[in-house]
Structure 1
Amino acid sequence: MNFDNYTVRLLTNDDLHPYFRMIERNRHRLMDYFAGTTSKTHTLEDTATFLSENVQKAADRTYFPYIIIDNTDNSFIGYIDLKRISWNIPKAELGCFFDENYAGKGIATKALQLATDYFFHEFGIKKLFLRTHPSNASARRIAEKCGFEVEGLIRCDHITTAGEIVDLLYYGKVNESK
């Protein structure tokens, strides 16, 4: 999938070094809400194992990790994943993060909209949802620009790396074309 000067594609085992660099650049921002990712990518060896596991999950159709690449210098600038997939309904959760150097440029909104459309049409997903902390104004704006609607605040829904139990806002979007 392509837009402007960017590519969105499945993550592969060959992406080890640029993926690790992206995580390292943003680790401080990802710690609390992407604890699984940050805890499994402390070293290159850990990250290689993590990538291998995720590539296998994609082959098994239980998890799909996508990377966003800036085509001008081939740097990895973001990540979108499709997780908690229920093929029976079919529905899934979206997760995403972007390099802080690319924040505020509209790239995240375009990438998320492209991925949402792709998941609806290529995978036959009927509903997508995402979760974010109520204070994450940027994520909320992006979700709303992509047509997601607030479905509710779930209290005590997530534990941060620091051990704080926090509420999360749930956003949903239904594929109306089916």
Structure 2
Amino acid sequence: MTFNHFKIDLLQPNESEALFNLIDSNRVRLEDFFAGIVSKTLTLEATINYGVEIQQRIKDKSYLPYMITDTKTNAFVGLVDVKNIDWNVPKAELGSFIDTKYEGQGITSKATNLVVDYIVQKHKFIKLLCRANSRNKGSIAVILKNGFELEGTIRNDYRTTKGEIVDLNYYGRVF
């Protein structure tokens, strides 16, 4: 998938260092909303080990991390991941973030749109979900731009990296 000077592909086995660099340069702002990936990428070595786990999860079709790459620099600038996949329905949850240097340019919205179209066509998902804390205005904007609707708020639903328990808004889109 491509648009402008960006491409979107599944994370490859040799890209753990690029993943580490993206997470590490955005770690502070990702801590509250991407606690899982932040905690598994504290060092390059930990990220390489996590990369092996991710590759197995891709093979198992239980996690699909789509990396956004700036083709001018060949650097990762963001992620749209497909997680919590339930093949019985079939449905999945989406998460996304963009490097702080690329914020506000519509890249995450466009990338999310392309990933949604692709995974619905390829994997025949009939429902996609997004979860966001009400403080995360950027993510909520991306979610709404991509046709997701607020389904409700689940109280005390998520533990941040700092240990705070927060409410999450659940957004859904049916296909």
| Shorter-chain TM band | over 0.9
- CA displacement at 1:84 relative to structure 2: 0.8
Larger mean Cα displacement after TM superposition, 48-57 or 34-43: 34-43
The equivalent of 2:133 in structure 1 is: 133
- CA displacement at 1:4 relative to structure 2: 1.3
- The number of aligned residues is 175
The equivalent of 1:108 in structure 2 is: 108
Q: Is 2:63–2:85's contact at 8 Å kept on the other side of the alignment?
A: yes
1:173 is paired with a residue whose SS is strand
Q: RMSD in angstroms over aligned alpha carbons?
A: 0.8
Q: Is 2:96–2:139's contact at 8 Å kept on the other side of the alignment?
A: no
1:42-57 equivalence runs, <5 A:
42-57=42-57
Structure 1 residue identity aligned to 2:127: K
- CA displacement at 1:145 relative to structure 2: 0.6
Q: TM-score, normalised by structure 1?
A: 0.96
Deviations 1:36-92 (A, max 9, x none): 111111111100010110111010111111110001111100011111111111100
User: How high is the sequence identity, in percent, across the aligned residues?
Assistant: 45
1:158 is paired with a residue whose SS is strand
- CA displacement at 1:157 relative to structure 2: 0.5
1:40-79 equivalence runs, <5 A:
40-79=40-79
The equivalent of 2:9 in structure 1 is: 9
Structure 2 residue identity aligned to 1:148: F
Q: TM-score, normalised by structure 2?
A: 0.97
The equivalent of 2:124 in structure 1 is: 124
Unaligned 5+ runs, structure 1: none
The yes-or-no answer on 1:24 pairing with 2:24 is yes
**Structure 1: 4+ residue segments shifted above 6 A:** none
Provide the C-alpha distance between the structure 2 equivalents of 1:82 and 1:164, rounded to a whole number of angstroms. 24
Provide the C-alpha distance between the structure 2 equivalents of 1:174 and 1:120, rounded to a whole number of angstroms. 10
- CA displacement at 1:142 relative to structure 2: 0.9
Provide the C-alpha distance between the structure 1 equivalents of 2:88 and 2:158, rounded to a whole number of angstroms. 26
- CA displacement at 1:5 relative to structure 2: 0.9
Provide the C-alpha distance between the structure 2 equivalents of 1:19 and 1:84, rounded to a whole number of angstroms. 20
